[in-house]
Structure 1
Amino acid sequence: MGTSYDTSVDPLERARLLERTHAAVLSGDRVSHEPRPVVFESWRRCLEARIDPDLRQPPLAFDHDRLDDVRQAHPLARWVPMLRQTLLEAADGTSHVMIVTDADGNILWRQGHPQVCRDADRVQLAEGTRWAESAVGTNAMGTTLATGAPVQIHSAEHLVRNYHSWTCAACPVRDPDTGALLGAVDLSGPLHTMHPALLALVVASARLVESELRWRLAASDDLFRGRNAHHLAGSGRAAALLSSSGRVIASAASTGFVPGQRIGLDESGTVRLDGGEHAELEPLDGGYLLRVAPPRPLRKPQLSLHLLGDVVPTATVDGVRHELSLRHAEILALLAMNPGGLTAERLALLLHGEQGNPTTVRVEIHRIRNALGQNVVKTRPYRIAADVDSDLHAVREALRRSDADAAVDRAGLLLPHSESPAIRAERDELSASLRGCALGTGDPELLWRFANTDAGRVDLEVLERARDLLPPEAPQRNVLETRLRLLLEEVG
């Protein structure tokens, strides 16, 4: 498949060859000369989009009442006179029309010789109509916008038969700020006016417009930079000046931002940079000031331990509950009681006395970290790095405040099945503190509640004191009498 035209072939002869190729391709017959790749791919796209080769006219995008407003708002409007001068005067102005479209392929301007304009009107090659590939099939304007590259379409290379008497060359124009398509510049004329030089002329004209746009953009950047440079000097944080589209215009020293780099913007006023940092946008006239936010502190995991009572001990991490083995519960209890951390040797001593093995402790810590998360228990020394609360701490805090009601409500034996020397010492001390607190109140109701906890159930003095303080008619006295008799029989 050829990618360019053979200049030695007469345009009319080429048109007849293209007609045969067009008919053969659409009928599925074998072709002697295949279409150029750019044309073949365009036909494929258009046929997949169900464009009718017998289409009679393009759709209307804008009526004349709306067209003026659309033109005035378009960024290519100021360059139309320059395009007319460079294109129509350099080409044969009596044989061509110059066309400028928007990015959607809608014709916004058409200028040229009146006779050629009248010929163009017969196929609705007119202002306000839409010439995207998806609307009218293969044509220079639509195909250049579809591919983003300059293209020349001659005669029966147009998919729609109604345009086979035309030849056209077009080139896209891009916004130098964003790289987005602004539209297309096109020269169209009767098929006998076809010449390969027309494409080079259209490309040169489009590049001239882009050069002017770049010059104006650079001047606008200089003005914006000069007006706002003081923000960078006094930012106090890494910062950059951005265009309204998010392009870096200038940056503070040693920030890592590069002029021309593009920052994705959203409507929230904050952006997330490639490195994961968060940044804030401050609107300025004509752009933004970007301030890199201070690093957000990592949120600690939330750890809740249930260690009291004759139940399975548990650890809840950020709402997820884990049942604990007795050994893991003992380790977590000791770490909670020693927030400064413990070495493996010290943990082994607290767990097993002089017979403790630090290697065994390290293995268990490894298992705990795998179960609860690496950020819950840290090493060197072993310590709880989460925000921790436990029923043990709650009872200790209630006792510190002399809040007997709260202490008795949470009362229970600390890991009652543990034989760890340190856990047993803490359990005994806690039980003694609870007992002293309950007895010291002289409150029969509170003593009754404590007598029904693991810590007070078998305490003779608590049971007797509660019985003696309760009114004779209280039904709880019978329960206490029975429990006392059974305990005394066991002792005797």
Structure 2
Amino acid sequence: MAGADWAEKSVGTSAPGMALATGAGSQVSGAEHLYEQAHRFSCSAVPIRDPRTGQVIGAIDLTGGPEAIATHSLPLLQAAVMAAETQLLLPGAGVVADPDYLDLGRSDGAHLGSTPVSLRHAEILTLLAHYREGLSTAQLVEELFERPDAAAEGTVRAEIVRLRKVLAGSPGRNLTSRPYRLQWDLQTTLGRLRQALEAGELEAALPLYSPGLLARSQAPGIVALLHRMEAALREMALDRGTARQLLNLGRQLADSDLLRAALRELPAQSPARSLIVAEVQELES
């Protein structure tokens, strides 16, 4: 009923509580529930994540008799979660803009909180958030320009002036010089992706990645960061990914190795196999 609290701290072991606590799909059968009144139920649950931040924001739970933990229950819930997370990516759909978060995954361009920022400003902020110790003008030029010329340093200084004007509306968002360094804790999509990868949290990392992240950027420093993140994500998926995770990432990257790995994880009778085989053949033809 509305208002019921199934968190682990309230009722002990339950699928929704475990899903929220662990960030992974969970199933609990009958007497495995700590709460005695729930022994007549079985349940499966999968967490929902904010697709922009990777944070768990809820869970979808299926409760009933033994059929609630059937082999198809978790895939069914995972499909529902994927649909919900896709809806959350729509502009303005239920995600509160964090003023200290640089969202690089939106289809309408990078946003600092609710403020749109240019590609160049997104590149500078991403680099300075990554290099917390700061970057000199010369270092920033190397990170931003493929073929820097004599005017490049002047261009960077002019962009910094314009960026400071964008930041001026929010107290505490200071950008110092010599070296250029952020004086507040700016979170970025790439930064959170890196944290998830370093922690080995594949489920948290996958929603943060998309081939559209700063896709128009030609800045060497950004291209290198994206390449490292993509390579690490791919290796982690191949090492421990589920069929769903491998399939989604394989389609995003158009990677036949990931799709073949998904085939190995899928049940032999899965109706999706023939479609994936056709996709692999198309990629390798």
Q: Give the equivalent residue in structure 1 for 2:103.
A: 306
The letter for the 1-side match of 2:181 is R
SS in 1 for 2:127: helix
Counterpart of 1:418 (choices 217, 220, 244) is 217
- Matched residues in 1 for 2:272 and 2:200: separation? 26
Q: Give the equivalent residue in structure 1 for 2:262.
A: 466
User: In 2, are the aligned partners of 1:307 and 1:333 still within 8 Å (CA)?
Assistant: no
Q: Give the equivalent residue in structure 1 for 2:183.
A: 385
Alignment map for 1:58-457 (pairs within 5 Å): 302-308=99-105, 312-316=109-113, 321-355=114-148, 357-373=152-168, 375-380=172-177, 381-413=179-211, 414-452=213-251, 454=252, 456=253
Deviation at 1:303, TM superposition (A): 1.5
User: In 2, are the aligned partners of 1:310 and 1:415 still within 8 Å (CA)?
Assistant: no
- Matched residues in 2 for 1:383 and 1:400: separation? 23
The letter for the 1-side match of 2:216 is H
SS in 2 for 1:386: coil
**Is the helix fraction higher in 1 or 2?**
2
Listed one character per residue, the Cα deviations across residues 414-448 of structure 1 (whole Å, up to 9, x for unaligned) are: 41221111111111110000000000015223212
User: In 1, are the aligned partners of 2:202 and 2:241 still within 8 Å (CA)?
Assistant: no
Deviation at 1:408, TM superposition (A): 1.4
User: In 1, are the aligned partners of 2:142 and 2:148 still within 8 Å (CA)?
Assistant: yes
What TM-score does the superposition give when structure 2 sets the normalisation length?
A: 0.58
Greater relative contact order (Cα 8 A, min sep 6): structure 1 or 2?
A: 2
User: In 2, are the aligned partners of 1:351 and 1:422 still within 8 Å (CA)?
Assistant: yes
Q: Give the equivalent residue in structure 1 for 2:68.
A: none
Deviation at 1:487, TM superposition (A): 1.8
The letter for the 1-side match of 2:128 is L
Aligned length: 182
- Matched residues in 2 for 1:358 and 1:398: separation? 34
Deviation at 1:308, TM superposition (A): 4.1
Deviation at 1:302, TM superposition (A): 4.8
Distance 1:359 1:446, change over 3 A: same
Q: Give the equivalent residue in structure 2 for 1:203.
A: none
- Matched residues in 1 for 2:166 and 2:200: separation? 37
- Matched residues in 2 for 1:366 and 1:480: separation? 50
Identity %: 31
Deviation at 1:350, TM superposition (A): 0.8
| 1:485 maps to 2:281 | yes
SS in 2 for 1:355: coil
Q: Give the equivalent residue in structure 2 for 1:160.
A: none
Unaligned runs of 5+ in 2: 1-97
Distance 1:467 1:310, change over 3 A: farther
Deviation at 1:371, TM superposition (A): 1.5
- Matched residues in 2 for 1:475 and 1:358: separation? 57
What TM-score does the superposition give when structure 1 sets the normalisation length?
A: 0.35
User: In 2, are the aligned partners of 1:408 and 1:449 still within 8 Å (CA)?
Assistant: no
Deviation at 1:324, TM superposition (A): 2.0
User: In 2, are the aligned partners of 1:315 and 1:323 still within 8 Å (CA)?
Assistant: yes
Deviation at 1:472, TM superposition (A): 3.0
- Matched residues in 1 for 2:140 and 2:193: separation? 24
- Matched residues in 2 for 1:472 and 1:378: separation? 56
User: In 1, are the aligned partners of 2:250 and 2:259 still within 8 Å (CA)?
Assistant: yes
- Matched residues in 2 for 1:373 and 1:402: separation? 37
- Matched residues in 2 for 1:465 and 1:399: separation? 20
The letter for the 1-side match of 2:134 is G
The letter for the 2-side match of 1:384 is L
Deviation at 1:466, TM superposition (A): 0.8
User: In 2, are the aligned partners of 1:309 and 1:416 still within 8 Å (CA)?
Assistant: no
Unaligned runs of 5+ in 1: 1-300
The letter for the 1-side match of 2:132 is P
Q: CA RMSD in A?
A: 2.2
* Runs of at least 4 residues off by over 6 Å: none
- Matched residues in 2 for 1:310 and 1:462: separation? 25
Larger radius of gyration: 1
